[in-house]
Structure 1
Protein backbone atom coordinates (compact mmCIF):
# COMPACT_ATOMS: atom_id res chain seq x y z
CA UNK A 1 0.00 0.00 0.00
CA UNK A 2 1.56 3.27 -1.05
CA UNK A 3 0.63 6.67 0.25
CA UNK A 4 -0.07 9.31 -2.33
CA UNK A 5 0.66 12.11 0.13
CA UNK A 6 4.28 13.05 -0.16
CA UNK A 7 6.22 14.08 2.92
CA UNK A 8 6.95 17.81 2.90
CA UNK A 9 10.53 18.57 1.94
CA UNK A 10 13.01 19.59 4.59
CA UNK A 11 12.94 23.16 3.28
CA UNK A 12 9.12 23.20 3.50
CA UNK A 13 9.18 21.75 7.01
CA UNK A 14 11.63 24.42 8.18
CA UNK A 15 9.64 27.19 6.48
CA UNK A 16 6.39 25.96 8.04
CA UNK A 17 7.99 26.03 11.51
CA UNK A 18 9.42 29.51 11.16
CA UNK A 19 8.26 31.82 14.00
CA UNK A 20 6.39 28.83 15.51
CA UNK A 21 9.04 26.37 16.63
CA UNK A 22 12.74 26.09 17.21
CA UNK A 23 14.03 23.18 15.18
CA UNK A 24 16.70 20.77 16.30
CA UNK A 25 17.95 18.79 13.31
CA UNK A 26 19.69 15.55 14.11
CA UNK A 27 21.45 14.28 11.01
CA UNK A 28 23.40 11.05 10.73
CA UNK A 29 24.72 9.05 7.79
CA UNK A 30 22.92 5.99 9.28
CA UNK A 31 20.36 5.33 12.01
CA UNK A 32 22.84 3.17 13.97
CA UNK A 33 25.30 6.09 14.33
CA UNK A 34 26.41 6.22 18.00
CA UNK A 35 26.23 10.02 18.29
CA UNK A 36 22.76 10.01 16.70
CA UNK A 37 21.49 7.44 19.21
CA UNK A 38 23.10 9.30 22.12
CA UNK A 39 21.56 12.61 21.02
CA UNK A 40 18.08 11.09 20.68
CA UNK A 41 18.42 9.63 24.16
CA UNK A 42 19.60 12.93 25.70
CA UNK A 43 16.66 14.80 24.16
CA UNK A 44 14.17 12.10 25.16
CA UNK A 45 15.30 12.45 28.80
CA UNK A 46 14.59 16.20 28.66
CA UNK A 47 11.18 15.99 26.97
CA UNK A 48 9.50 18.52 29.28
CA UNK A 49 12.16 21.16 28.74
CA UNK A 50 12.11 20.47 24.99
CA UNK A 51 8.36 21.09 24.97
CA UNK A 52 8.63 24.24 27.15
CA UNK A 53 11.05 25.78 24.65
CA UNK A 54 8.89 25.10 21.57
CA UNK A 55 11.43 22.69 20.12
CA UNK A 56 10.61 20.32 17.30
CA UNK A 57 13.20 17.60 16.83
CA UNK A 58 13.76 16.36 13.28
CA UNK A 59 15.65 13.08 12.98
CA UNK A 60 17.25 12.72 9.58
CA UNK A 61 19.31 9.85 8.25
CA UNK A 62 20.96 9.82 4.84
CA UNK A 63 19.07 6.76 3.59
CA UNK A 64 15.68 8.33 4.38
CA UNK A 65 16.30 11.65 2.65
CA UNK A 66 15.28 12.59 -0.85
CA UNK A 67 17.94 13.90 -3.22
CA UNK A 68 16.47 17.41 -2.83
CA UNK A 69 16.66 17.21 0.98
CA UNK A 70 20.27 15.98 0.83
CA UNK A 71 21.13 18.88 -1.45
CA UNK A 72 19.35 21.35 0.87
CA UNK A 73 21.23 19.98 3.90
CA UNK A 74 24.58 20.26 2.15
CA UNK A 75 24.14 23.57 0.32
CA UNK A 76 21.85 25.60 2.58
CA UNK A 77 22.67 24.17 6.01
CA UNK A 78 26.30 23.19 5.26
CA UNK A 79 25.90 19.68 6.70
CA UNK A 80 28.62 17.19 5.77
CA UNK A 81 26.82 14.05 4.45
CA UNK A 82 29.20 11.58 6.13
CA UNK A 83 29.19 13.20 9.58
CA UNK A 84 26.73 13.29 12.47
CA UNK A 85 25.52 16.87 12.89
CA UNK A 86 23.11 18.55 15.25
CA UNK A 87 21.75 21.97 14.29
CA UNK A 88 19.65 24.33 16.35
CA UNK A 89 17.55 26.53 14.10
CA UNK A 90 15.90 29.46 15.80
CA UNK A 91 12.33 30.62 15.28
CA UNK A 92 13.72 33.21 12.86
CA UNK A 93 15.07 30.42 10.65
CA UNK A 94 18.75 31.08 11.41
CA UNK A 95 21.22 28.41 12.49
CA UNK A 96 22.04 29.20 16.14
CA UNK A 97 24.19 26.22 17.02
CA UNK A 98 26.05 23.60 14.98
CA UNK A 99 27.88 20.65 16.44
CA UNK A 100 29.23 17.32 15.22
CA UNK A 101 29.08 15.68 18.65
CA UNK A 102 26.01 15.02 20.76
CA UNK A 103 24.83 18.12 22.60
CA UNK A 104 23.99 17.95 26.28
CA UNK A 105 20.59 19.26 27.30
CA UNK A 106 22.39 22.01 29.24
CA UNK A 107 24.27 23.16 26.11
CA UNK A 108 21.10 23.20 24.04
CA UNK A 109 18.86 24.89 26.60
CA UNK A 110 21.61 27.29 27.68
CA UNK A 111 21.96 28.51 24.09
CA UNK A 112 18.19 28.85 23.66
CA UNK A 113 17.65 30.56 27.01
CA UNK A 114 20.12 33.34 26.03
CA UNK A 115 18.15 34.19 22.88
CA UNK A 116 16.14 37.44 23.03
CA UNK A 117 12.96 35.75 21.80
CA UNK A 118 13.22 33.04 24.49
CA UNK A 119 13.83 35.71 27.15
CA UNK A 120 10.59 37.43 26.10
CA UNK A 121 8.77 34.08 26.25
CA UNK A 122 10.06 33.44 29.78
CA UNK A 123 8.78 36.88 30.93
CA UNK A 124 5.30 36.09 29.58
CA UNK A 125 5.02 32.79 31.48
Structure 2
Protein backbone atom coordinates (compact mmCIF):
# COMPACT_ATOMS: atom_id res chain seq x y z
CA UNK A 1 0.00 0.00 0.00
CA UNK A 2 2.87 2.36 0.76
CA UNK A 3 4.25 1.84 -2.75
CA UNK A 4 0.87 2.69 -4.24
CA UNK A 5 0.83 6.03 -2.42
CA UNK A 6 4.39 6.80 -3.44
CA UNK A 7 3.76 5.93 -7.06
CA UNK A 8 0.84 8.36 -7.21
CA UNK A 9 2.81 11.19 -5.60
CA UNK A 10 3.88 14.04 -7.79
CA UNK A 11 7.64 13.81 -8.47
CA UNK A 12 9.78 16.50 -6.89
CA UNK A 13 11.99 18.66 -9.03
CA UNK A 14 15.71 18.21 -8.39
CA UNK A 15 15.88 21.58 -6.62
CA UNK A 16 12.98 20.80 -4.33
CA UNK A 17 14.45 17.38 -3.62
CA UNK A 18 17.81 18.94 -2.71
CA UNK A 19 16.09 21.52 -0.49
CA UNK A 20 14.08 18.82 1.28
CA UNK A 21 17.20 16.74 1.90
CA UNK A 22 19.04 19.76 3.34
CA UNK A 23 16.16 20.55 5.70
CA UNK A 24 15.94 16.95 6.90
CA UNK A 25 19.71 16.69 7.36
CA UNK A 26 19.89 19.97 9.28
CA UNK A 27 17.09 19.04 11.66
CA UNK A 28 17.98 15.41 12.27
CA UNK A 29 19.82 13.90 15.22
CA UNK A 30 23.10 13.95 13.34
CA UNK A 31 22.94 17.70 12.79
CA UNK A 32 25.94 19.67 13.98
CA UNK A 33 24.78 21.39 17.16
CA UNK A 34 26.55 22.90 20.10
CA UNK A 35 26.49 20.60 23.12
CA UNK A 36 23.73 21.47 25.57
CA UNK A 37 24.87 23.38 28.61
CA UNK A 38 24.12 21.69 31.94
CA UNK A 39 23.45 25.15 33.33
CA UNK A 40 20.97 25.90 30.58
CA UNK A 41 19.31 22.54 31.22
CA UNK A 42 19.00 23.38 34.93
CA UNK A 43 17.45 26.77 34.14
CA UNK A 44 14.99 25.25 31.68
CA UNK A 45 14.05 22.47 34.11
CA UNK A 46 13.37 25.05 36.83
CA UNK A 47 11.14 27.21 34.64
CA UNK A 48 7.71 27.70 36.22
CA UNK A 49 8.82 25.47 39.12
CA UNK A 50 11.59 27.24 41.04
CA UNK A 51 13.38 30.56 41.26
CA UNK A 52 17.12 30.12 40.85
CA UNK A 53 19.76 31.98 42.78
CA UNK A 54 23.03 31.47 40.92
CA UNK A 55 26.15 32.33 42.88
CA UNK A 56 28.86 32.62 40.24
CA UNK A 57 32.50 32.87 41.29
CA UNK A 58 35.94 32.29 39.76
CA UNK A 59 36.81 29.70 42.43
CA UNK A 60 35.23 27.92 45.40
CA UNK A 61 37.23 29.96 47.92
CA UNK A 62 36.20 33.38 46.56
CA UNK A 63 35.64 35.69 49.55
CA UNK A 64 32.38 37.11 48.14
CA UNK A 65 31.02 33.63 47.53
CA UNK A 66 31.92 32.66 51.09
CA UNK A 67 30.18 35.78 52.41
CA UNK A 68 27.05 35.08 50.34
CA UNK A 69 26.94 31.53 51.72
CA UNK A 70 27.10 32.97 55.25
CA UNK A 71 24.23 35.34 54.50
CA UNK A 72 22.03 32.54 53.14
CA UNK A 73 22.73 29.78 55.66
CA UNK A 74 20.40 31.02 58.44
CA UNK A 75 17.50 31.77 56.05
CA UNK A 76 16.94 28.34 54.48
CA UNK A 77 13.22 28.29 55.46
CA UNK A 78 12.73 31.67 53.73
CA UNK A 79 14.41 30.37 50.59
CA UNK A 80 12.20 27.28 50.60
CA UNK A 81 9.04 29.36 51.18
CA UNK A 82 9.87 31.37 48.06
CA UNK A 83 10.66 28.30 45.95
CA UNK A 84 14.28 29.41 45.65
CA UNK A 85 16.94 26.96 44.58
CA UNK A 86 20.51 28.10 45.29
CA UNK A 87 23.25 26.86 42.95
CA UNK A 88 26.92 27.70 43.08
CA UNK A 89 28.56 28.14 39.70
CA UNK A 90 32.35 27.86 39.95
CA UNK A 91 33.91 29.06 36.71
CA UNK A 92 37.11 27.05 37.11
CA UNK A 93 35.05 23.84 37.32
CA UNK A 94 32.69 24.48 34.40
CA UNK A 95 32.64 22.71 31.07
CA UNK A 96 33.10 24.86 27.95
CA UNK A 97 29.36 24.87 27.03
CA UNK A 98 28.47 26.18 30.49
CA UNK A 99 31.12 28.92 30.30
CA UNK A 100 29.85 29.91 26.86
CA UNK A 101 26.24 29.96 28.11
CA UNK A 102 27.18 32.20 31.04
CA UNK A 103 29.05 34.64 28.84
CA UNK A 104 26.80 34.73 25.80
CA UNK A 105 23.31 34.15 27.19
CA UNK A 106 23.53 35.48 30.73
CA UNK A 107 26.15 38.19 30.19
CA UNK A 108 28.36 36.99 33.05
CA UNK A 109 32.07 37.70 33.08
CA UNK A 110 33.80 34.57 34.30
CA UNK A 111 36.45 36.51 36.20
CA UNK A 112 34.32 38.04 38.97
CA UNK A 113 31.62 37.20 41.51
CA UNK A 114 28.08 37.58 40.18
CA UNK A 115 24.78 36.80 41.86
CA UNK A 116 21.87 36.15 39.48
CA UNK A 117 18.29 35.82 40.62
CA UNK A 118 16.33 34.04 37.91
CA UNK A 119 12.55 34.11 38.16
CA UNK A 120 10.20 31.24 37.52
CA UNK A 121 9.69 32.64 34.03
CA UNK A 122 13.40 32.10 33.30
CA UNK A 123 14.27 35.80 33.21
CA UNK A 124 17.06 37.44 35.18
CA UNK A 125 15.37 39.52 37.90
CA UNK A 126 18.43 40.73 39.77
CA UNK A 127 22.15 40.89 39.04
CA UNK A 128 24.71 41.86 41.68
CA UNK A 129 28.51 41.83 41.84
CA UNK A 130 28.67 41.83 45.64
CA UNK A 131 27.00 39.68 48.28
CA UNK A 132 23.40 40.62 48.99
CA UNK A 133 21.62 40.30 52.36
CA UNK A 134 18.80 37.78 52.31
CA UNK A 135 16.26 40.45 53.26
CA UNK A 136 17.03 42.34 50.03
CA UNK A 137 16.69 39.18 47.94
CA UNK A 138 13.42 38.32 49.65
CA UNK A 139 12.17 41.86 49.06
CA UNK A 140 12.90 41.51 45.33
CA UNK A 141 11.12 38.16 45.14
CA UNK A 142 8.17 39.24 47.28
CA UNK A 143 7.53 42.19 44.95
CA UNK A 144 7.13 39.90 41.91
CA UNK A 145 3.54 39.47 40.69
CA UNK A 146 3.81 35.67 40.68
CA UNK A 147 5.05 35.69 44.29
CA UNK A 148 2.21 38.04 45.24
CA UNK A 149 -0.25 35.46 43.89
CA UNK A 150 1.56 32.68 45.74
CA UNK A 151 1.31 34.59 49.03
CA UNK A 152 -2.45 35.07 48.57
CA UNK A 153 -2.76 31.29 48.46
CA UNK A 154 -4.43 28.82 46.11
CA UNK A 155 -7.71 29.75 44.46
Q: Is TM-score (shorter-chain normalized) higher than 0.5?
A: yes
Query: What CA deviation, in whole Å up to 9, does each residue of 1:79-111 have, x standing for no partner?
Result: 111010000000000000000000110110000
User: Which residue of structure 1 aligns with residue 13 of structure 2?
Assistant: none
Mapping for residues 21-40 of structure 1, pairs under 5 Å: 21-40=50-69
> Gaps spanning 5+ residues in structure 1: where?
1-7
The CA distance in 2 between the partners of 1:41 and 1:87, in whole Å, is 17
CA distance in 1, matches of 2:71, 2:77: 12
CA apart distance, 1:44: 1.2
Q: CA offset at residue 45 of structure 1?
A: 1.3
Within 5 A, what are the aligned runs for 1:1-125?
A: 9-124=38-153
> RCO higher in 1 or 2 (8 Å CA, sep ≥ 6)?
1
Larger Rg: 2
Q: List, as ranges, runs of 4+ consecutive aligned residues in structure 1 with deviation greater than 2 Å.
A: none
Instruction: Measure the CA separation in 2 of the matches of 1:73 and 1:60.
Output: 10
Q: 1:17, 1:41 → 2: CA distance? A: 24
Aligned residues: 118
Listed as ranges, the gaps of 5+ residues in structure 2 are 1-36
Alignment deviations for residues 54-83 of structure 1 (CA, whole Å, 9 cap, x no partner): 000010111211100000001111011101
Alpha-carbon shift at residue 19 of structure 1 (Å): 0.1
Q: For the aligned residues, what is the CA RMSD?
A: 1.0
Normalising by structure 2, we get a TM-score of 0.74
The two structures have a TM-score, normalised by structure 1, of 0.92
